Amino acid sequence: MGCVMGIKPFVGALLMLSSVVGLAVADHRHEKREDEYRDGPCHVKEVSDKGDYKLEVKCPDGRGRTWPRGEWKEEYWDGPCRVKVEAKRDEYKKEVKCEGRDDD
């Protein structure tokens, strides 16, 4: 029981810190962000800018891919956002563009 009492202040401080970090992240949501990394044998690139989003995954010889086989394209609306997806054996691209946003 003494151990539980010592954890409560730590948990409270952690929750307060996470809320402050969340506010700092929310203030930068309109900035362009780019991220490149590897996911197993695949090279991943993500770009987001004012609500628009692009994802590009390239897997050499199709090894490590997580999307269905074959070449295909798909377009659809998700609320005010147009989503385009294109897949090949070794490459996957997803683009989301949102319309009617007031970013100012």
Looking at this protein, which amino acid is placed at residue 60? P
Question: Residue 71 in contact with residue 88, Cβ under 8 Å?
Answer: yes
Q: Looking at the DSSP assignment, which residues form a beta bridge with residue 99?
A: none
- How many angstroms separate the CA atoms of 51 and 79, rounded? 13
CA distances, 6 to each of 2, 16, 45, 80 (Å) = 7, 17, 43, 48
The model's pLDDT over 71-92, given as tens digits with 9 standing for 90+, comes to: 999 999 999 999 999 999 999 9
pLDDT of residue 31: 81
- How many angstroms separate the CA atoms of 99 and 38, rounded? 31
Single pTM value for the model: 0.64
The answer to whether residue 61 scores a pLDDT higher than 70 is: yes
**Sign of the dihedral through C-alpha 95, 100, 101, 102:** positive
pLDDT of residue 73: 95
State the average pLDDT over residues 34-53: 93
pLDDT of residue 101: 54
Q: How confident is the model at residue 8 (pLDDT cuts 50, 70, 90)?
A: low
Higher pLDDT, 28 or 91: 91
Looking at this protein, which amino acid is placed at residue 12? G
Higher pLDDT, 35 or 17: 35
